[in-house]
Amino acid sequence: MSRKSVRFGSFLRNHIDDRDSFKKWLQLGMAFENFRRKYFPDRDRPRFVNTVNHLALEEVYHAVKGEKTAWVNLMNPSELLLSAGLRPVSAEGISGALSSMHLEDTAISVSSQAGISDSLCTFHRASLGVSLRKLLPPPKLVMTTSILCDGNLPTFKRIAGEYDVPFILIDVPRGRKQEAVGYVLSQLKDVIVTIQEITGKPFKMDELSLRLSYERELINNLEKARLRAHDSYLPQHLYEHMNSLYVLHTLAGDPRIALGSRNVAESLKVIPENAKRILWLHIPPYYDNELFELFSPNSENLVVGNELMWDWIYPVDPDRPLESLAKKLVFNPLCGSVVDRGEFCLGLARDFNVDGVIHFSHWGCRQSSGGVPFLKRLFESEKIPFLELTGDCVDHSSQGAGQLRTRVEAFLEILENRR
């Protein structure tokens, strides 16, 4: 997320052809940064943000070490894995980590040489390249859901095949219908059997209930902050929004994130009177770019909310853990139609009292980009200005920095003129 990350990536590039040397230096560097974020967090950042930043890096660090990890997609029921002593790591997060060091091109190139289509999302192409090149140790298993992305099944299945580890798919029907809950619930029961076979240990349902109690505490704390969001905001850099969406999806059952969220409502800052409040839809770029400067948390242009920090929230019941997880998957707003997504995002815009909406359409993500015309009409019908930016969240060579800045500055000027 900084020049320091890019410098470290430049050093690692010298070792990219020697996998053992690359792994050694990567592990050493991430161990140092993990230690720093854990024990010497940034003093000027809210406790919740520091916790998120630490856990986002630690998640990838576990993958680098290969310690009881499971590669998962963003919409995976990772509470099951945490309850079994496994460490979920977002495969997309691995791609993002490479991007922050400007090393994603190496993994993407490996995928291209293996015949992977250039039209596939670069999050997937980079994570595939990592598995094809064996840049990281093998996970214990690979697990994904069908939610959000049609590329999940072939990508994650290929990753599992390259590492020769078990592959688990949870099929979640689209439509957010009650009748799908039983179907998903039966799959979760099968997943538990598979996890028991992989770990060689009985699955403890009381541990899962405990994990859901942590998650419920986290949800309650975040909802308290959301109630204050009409005139207050949590100061976050764009890359910290990215960290939050990874951590909140994959580690919601971790007690550390629940603990770190306990004072999140009190750490909000009052929104300055002259500030322009932005709701961010989809995912921001992970590499250092022009947008980071434009939307600094101390600037007049504030990203006060992002779509993927809130979609995962469901009122889980620790007394009915498996059914709660099934419903959480089925009723995710992104598991429905574009109308469902629009209603969800419009609710966020109202809660955060935004002045405008920016949708970053990541190249290769057809589902998200395909909904933009509907979302644009919806927000503009509510007199909320809407801007679509197109680019790549992973491939830093495709950023088109000057064009992004020009379009965003023109949009911000529109917002200023509306006052």
pLDDT tens sequence across 32-77: 999 999 999 999 999 999 999 999 999 999 999 998 999 999 999 9
Q: Is the pLDDT of residue 365 over 90?
A: no
Q: Is residue 22 within 8 Å of residue 227, measured between CB atoms?
A: no
Q: Is the pLDDT of residue 401 over 80?
A: no
Beta-strand pair 232-233/386-391: unpaired
Q: Using CA atoms, how far apart are residues 354 and 16, in angstroms rounded to an integer?
A: 44
Which two tokens mark 154?
């072939």
- Shortest CA distance to 244 belongs to which of 270, 225, 271? 225
pLDDT band at 4 (very low <50, low <70, confident <90, very high): confident
Q: Give every CB contact of residue 218 below 8 A, 6+ residues apart in sequence.
A: 248, 252, 257, 258, 261
- Shortest CA distance to 276 belongs to which of 405, 399, 408? 408
pLDDT tens sequence across 279-292: 999 999 888 788 99
Q: Using CA atoms, how far apart are residues 417 and 413, in angstroms rounded to an integer?
A: 6
In 40-90, alpha helices (H): 47-65, 79-83
Which two tokens mark 372?
């933009």
Instruction: Give the pLDDT of residue 61.
Output: 97
- What is this structure's pTM? 0.95
Q: Using CA atoms, how far apart are residues 409 and 413, in angstroms rounded to an integer?
A: 6
Q: Give every CB contact of residue 193 below 8 A, 6+ residues apart in sequence.
A: none
Would you kindly state where each structural domain of the chain is located, as residue ranges? Answer: 3-417
Instruction: Give the pLDDT of residue 400.
Output: 67
pLDDT tens sequence across 243-267: 999 999 999 999 999 999 999 999 9
